[in-house]
Amino acid sequence: MTKTDLIDQNRPCRLPEEFIILDLRLAVCLKQVPSGQSGETDPRKGFVLRSGPGRLNPFDGSAIELAMSLKDRFGASVDLISMGPKQAEQTLLEALCLGPDRAFLISDPALVGSDSLATARALALTLSLLGPYDLVVCGLTTIDGGTSQVPPSLSRLLGWPFAGRLCKVVGLNEKELHFQQRYQDELLEATLPLPGVVSTLRESFTPRLPSIKAKLAPKKVTVLSALDLARSPLLANQESLRTETVDVAQAEGFSFGRSGGGPAKKTEPPADPAEFDPALYFGEKGSPTKIQAIRKPKPPNRVTVRPTAAEAAAVILEAVKAVKS
Amino acid sequence: MINPPFPSSDPKCPPSHLRDESRFQGVQAELKTPADHRALAELAVKSLERGQPMTFQGARTGLCGGCVPLAGQAVSLTLLDRPISLEETPEGFELRVQPGYDLASLGRDLSRRRFDFISAKVKAETLSAFRSRPYFWPPDPGERTATIGGLASTRAAGPGAHRYGSVAEHIAGLNFLMADGQERSVRRGRHFFRNGRMLLPGGQELAVDPSRLGLSEEADLLDLLIGSQGMYGLITSLDLKLAPAPAHVWALVFFLDSEEKAAALADVFLAEPLSPLVSLDYLDEASLKMVLSLRKTASKLLEIPPPPLGAAAAVLLEFHSNDESEIESAAAKALAGCQKVGGDPDQSWALTDAEAEKMRIVRHAVPEGLGGRLDQIRAKGYPVFNVASDFTRPGPSLTRCLAEYRRDLKAQNLEAVIFGHAKDNNLHVNILTENVSQTKRALELMADWLGRARETGGKLFQEHGVGKLKRELFAQAEKKETVDAWRTVKKTLDPHALFNPQNMLAD
Ligand SMILES: Cc1cc2nc3c(=O)[nH]c(=O)nc-3n(C[C@H](O)[C@H](O)[C@H](O)COP(=O)(O)OP(=O)(O)OC[C@H]3O[C@@H](n4cnc5c(N)ncnc54)[C@H](O)[C@@H]3O)c2cc1C
């Protein structure tokens, strides 16, 4: 459905309540995944090896659709944000054909091999750098990593509430999003205070297809490096981006609702970010990987004042080097 | 076209082998499913010796009852479903396949560049040369489960026939088991007509004027066998000509708010050809509704948004090129064409490379939906078939052709789902009937249209064949000398009428 289907711009009329223009700022986090059926993984480190052409993670198509349908209905700007290799730019260019306003790619050799927490941190830094945003929309999971951890981790890092498995938007205003979410056979209705983070059910929002006009229009992706992220205001509250996956193993079973994927509730920012335990933030599907031990690095110097860009970049680079190794 | 829907009570043949996608109903037959080539050849030779008729079956997706047995045995070829070998010839790569190998398996194997060959003789250097770049088989009939043997026997064609032609242009040769029980290799140009005569591989002579069969003077035996609906013998293997795959594929869909605008847009593209264009198809409003209703059940369609509100018809294009900028400029011209006919450029889809498959899924949903609708009507007790056109009508514009069809349908108080290829007005007008009187009127109308098409040089029974369902229409629409010419071919190649009896020609 396009905006013109809903609002006849040639006819002066009072817009019905639900079509009030809110001018919200929305961000969609998305990922490029390998084009093939299954991505090869590094047997030692467990992360996906990327080569050849990529495509948009199919779950993220529904996230873009939700954001675009809110833009159509309520008026909003939509930014796309992705972290990945340089070739992910192609996926962002294609996603821009669906109508979002801007696209950003966080791409830095230092970030290769990031796990879900490092990814969430990089995304959180970017969101606070480019924001403020009212709503961040993510796909439920990815077809390659499949952890479902990034969206709830992101909410925790940003200190915003999270709602997972959205299947319908019931209403929206500047302060809150009224939505339905589905857990197996259960349909829940709840309200998410804004700003917030949501993940979408793939089957509930069929992605639109690009128009020929949009396909032919010039498009641009802004590439951000780790150094750029160092300017993020969020960094003032973060000591390190460092995570170290000591071991990765198949989990024996999943449990629902352990994470922020349950009905939305306001989460507090971590009192001490160094104590942040990702095991608490498994996705709503449960995590297929179990992090058996988290080696918590002793924070370097506690950052009490906002660092300069160069200082922060050094911290980030040191942290991501640890992730790589 | 009305045939009692009696289900099979014969334990020797499950009901699913007594029908095809046309829902034409067969009678008792013994089902034979040979496991390999040797078992197939033995079965065929024995049946020929004993005078037992055989009806060959591929995937049974045919739309004319060609594979439906009315006597003797149903010989299913679905277990002969593997690629045999790959060869590099001066013209390019040739892939030899068994007749039951299907289009989906071919697409999968070509895209992963790996085959599960029967023969261990494929040279390593041939394989590595083949793997150096992607290849494809240009014909693109919509039904991916159809077998290569079935596609060759019906001379199937997809939307890509606009540029690439039918399967006939992409088969270099085949092995063929003839009425004397011998299997022979038939290659392009080896057995051809000269002064109305052709020396056949077994040594007999076929005396028939090729022009009566709608063939040119240069036609050869391969032209005669491709599209022969199993009437002259059994295809035991086929050599497919592979072509280098284009680096870029774009599919464009324009949704228009009236049939007139859509037809005018297709006419613009026909008048000013866009160089990378390989297909140009048309879907009417009833077709779009069919897609919409199938969305409720077909999981593949759920990944695709519904046609926009208010869309009354769609024009579908596919571009192939190694140069993406060539496609981009063609797409820009197409967009200008849309504006020229008063279309809304925002009501369009542009799908590139792997995403282009979505357009094919939408197009395929129309015949699939029609099959479902037939089942609904048949469930009410009326044993109806789809009365569908399958001919070219060169000459008039698509606009004029569609207007004529609508006028005639209205005069007969009939409804139709119209979709198909814009080139030469190769449209499938599917008349939906729910009672005897409607079916009678539909058949009369179809016969009238076929006659008009024949007069203007159109090719009748183009893609789906005649089979058993359209035998009467064939006899009505073709000139007597044409029907007699086909009878001569049948008598010469299958003197005891043991191959696919009752196809095309009533006994
Ligand atoms: C949804 C849908 C979409 C379709 N789209 C298209 C399309 O785009 N273009 C098109 O052309 N057709 C289309 N068709 C029709 C159908 O797919 C084709 O006619 C196809 O060629 C049939 O292949 P099959 O393997 O199912 O053959 P069958 O239906 O099993 O048999 C078809 C004929 O071939 C004969 N035959 C099969 N194998 C052999 C053999 N080895 N030796 C001798 N004779 C043999 C059979 O006896 C029969 O006469 C469509 C059908 C459906 C249901």
**How many Å apart are CA B473 and CA B465, to the nearest integer?**
12
Q: Which residues of A touch B (CB under 8 A)?
A: 1-2, 4-5, 35, 55, 94, 97, 203, 206-216
In the structure, what pLDDT confidence band is assigned to residue B1 with cuts at 50, 70 and 90? very low
Number of domains in chain B: 2
Q: How many Cα neighbours within 13 Å face the side chain of A49?
A: 7
At a CB cut-off of 8 Å and minimum separation 6, what does B38 contact?
none
pLDDT for position A229 = 82
- The two three-digit tokens of residue A65, written as one number: 């659709």
In the structure, what pLDDT confidence band is assigned to residue A260 with cuts at 50, 70 and 90? very low
Q: Which residues of B touch A (CB under 8 A)?
A: 252, 254, 302-305, 308-309, 328, 331-332, 334-335, 338, 345-352, 354-355, 358
Q: How many CB atoms lie within 10 A of CB B220?
A: 18
Q: Is the pLDDT of residue A38 over 50?
A: no
pLDDT for position A221 = 96
CA distances from A246 to A45, A275, A316 (A): 9, 17, 20
Domain boundary among B52, B76, B100: B76
For residue B451, tell me if it sits in a domain: no
In the structure, what pLDDT confidence band is assigned to residue A319 with cuts at 50, 70 and 90? low
Q: Which of the pair, B385 or A68, is modelled with greater confidence? A: A68
Average pLDDT for B458-479? 91
CA distances from B402 to B260, B283, B313, B413, B431 (A): 9, 11, 12, 16, 14
For residue B458, tell me if it sits in a domain: no
Over the stretch A94-144, which tens digit does the pLDDT of each residue have? 999 999 999 999 998 878 777 888 888 889 989 999 989 999 999 998 888
For residue B155, tell me if it sits in a domain: yes
Specify whether B49 is located in the same domain as B122: no
Over the stretch B158-215, which tens digit does the pLDDT of each residue have? 999 999 999 999 999 999 999 999 999 999 989 999 999 999 998 999 999 999 998 8
A211 vs B303, B348, B355: nearest CB: B348
pLDDT for position B298 = 81
DSSP codes of every residue in B226-248: TT-TTSS-EEEEEEEEPEEPPSE
Torsion, Cα A90 A93 A98 A99, to 10 degrees, reads 160
**How many Å apart are CA B282 and CA B190, to the nearest integer?**
39
Over the stretch B19-60, which tens digit does the pLDDT of each residue have? 999 999 998 899 999 999 999 999 999 999 999 999 999 999
Enclosing domain of residue B37:
15-76
At a CB cut-off of 8 Å and minimum separation 6, what does B156 contact?
B139, B141, B146, B150, B166, B167, B463, B464
pLDDT for position B385 = 82
Average pLDDT for B274-295? 96
Q: How many CB atoms lie within 10 A of CB B506?
A: 11
In chain A, % of residues over pLDDT 70: 61
Q: Do B348 and A1 touch (CB under 8 A)?
A: no
Centre of ligand 1 to C-alpha B117, Å, is: 24
Average pLDDT for A270-275? 39
Specify whether B92 is located in the same domain as B214: yes
Over the stretch B247-264, which tens digit does the pLDDT of each residue have? 999 999 999 999 999 999
Specify whether B120 is located in the same domain as B211: yes
B152 CB within 6 A, ligand 1: no
User: E strand or H helix at B408, and its extent?
Assistant: helix B398-411
Kindly state the DSSP code that residue A110 receives in the 8-state scheme: G
DSSP codes of every residue in B313-328: EEEEEEEEES-HHHHH
In chain B, % of residues over pLDDT 70: 98
User: In degrees rounded to 5, what are phi and psi of residue B190?
Assistant: -80, -40
Over the stretch B139-151, which tens digit does the pLDDT of each residue have? 999 999 999 999 9
Specify whether B225 is located in the same domain as B139: yes
Domain spanning A25-286 has what CATH number? 3.40.50.620
**How many Å apart are CA B145 and CA B154, to the nearest integer?**
14
Specify whether B93 is located in the same domain as B238: yes
pLDDT for position A314 = 66
For residue B413, tell me if it sits in a domain: no
Average pLDDT for A181-197? 90
In the structure, what pLDDT confidence band is assigned to residue A247 with cuts at 50, 70 and 90? low
B331 vs A55, A97, A212: nearest CB: A212
B139 CB within 6 A, ligand 1: no
Is B148 in contact with B238 (CB distance < 8 Å)? Answer: yes
Specify whether B165 is located in the same domain as B25: no
Domain boundary among B31, B47, B76: B76
Specify whether B156 is located in the same domain as B239: yes
Please give the residue of chain B at the shortest CA–CA distance from A207.
Answer: B305
Average pLDDT for B222-244? 97
Centre of ligand 1 to C-alpha B273, Å, is: 31
Average pLDDT for A80-98? 95
pLDDT for position A231 = 78
Query: Out of A125-139, A214-228, B5-19, B208-222, which region has the weakest mean confidence (pLDDT)?
Result: B5-19
**How many Å apart are CA A178 and CA A288, to the nearest integer?**
30
Specify whether B55 is located in the same domain as B163: no
For position B122, which CATH number holds? 3.30.465.10
Domain boundary among B191, B216, B244: B244
For position B29, which CATH number holds? 3.30.43.10
Specify whether B161 is located in the same domain as B234: yes
Over the stretch B52-106, which tens digit does the pLDDT of each residue have? 999 999 999 999 999 999 989 999 999 999 999 999 999 999 999 999 999 999 9
Q: Do B328 and A216 touch (CB under 8 A)?
A: yes
Q: What is the ipTM of this complex?
A: 0.87
Average pLDDT for A11-38? 68
**How many Å apart are CA A150 and CA A141, to the nearest integer?**
8
CA distances from B126 to B172, B199, B241, B244 (A): 18, 35, 15, 15
For residue B271, tell me if it sits in a domain: no
Q: How far is A211 from chain B (nearest CA, A)?
A: 4
Q: Which of the pair, A145 or B462, is modelled with greater confidence? A: B462
In chain B, % of residues over pLDDT 90: 85
Specify whether B41 is located in the same domain as B142: no
Over the stretch B305-350, which tens digit does the pLDDT of each residue have? 999 999 999 999 999 999 999 999 999 999 999 999 999 999 999 9
For residue B123, tell me if it sits in a domain: yes
Specify whether B93 is located in the same domain as B37: no
Kindly state the DSSP code that residue A204 receives in the 8-state scheme: G
Q: How far is B240 from chain A (nearest CA, A)?
A: 26
User: E strand or H helix at A104, and its extent?
Assistant: strand A102-106
Specify whether B105 is located in the same domain as B65: no
Which atom number of ligand 1 is nearest to the Cα of residue B153? Answer: 34
Give nearest CA residue, ligand 1 atom 19.
B62
Q: Is the pLDDT of residue A278 over 80?
A: no
Which atom number of ligand 1 is nearest to the Cα of residue B465? Answer: 19
Q: Is the pLDDT of residue A53 over 80?
A: no
Is A98 in contact with A208 (CB distance < 8 Å)? Answer: yes
Average pLDDT for A263-272? 39
**How many Å apart are CA B161 and CA B423, to the nearest integer?**
9
**How many Å apart are CA A101 and CA A5, to the nearest integer?**
20
Q: Report the mean per-residue pLDDT for chain B.
A: 93
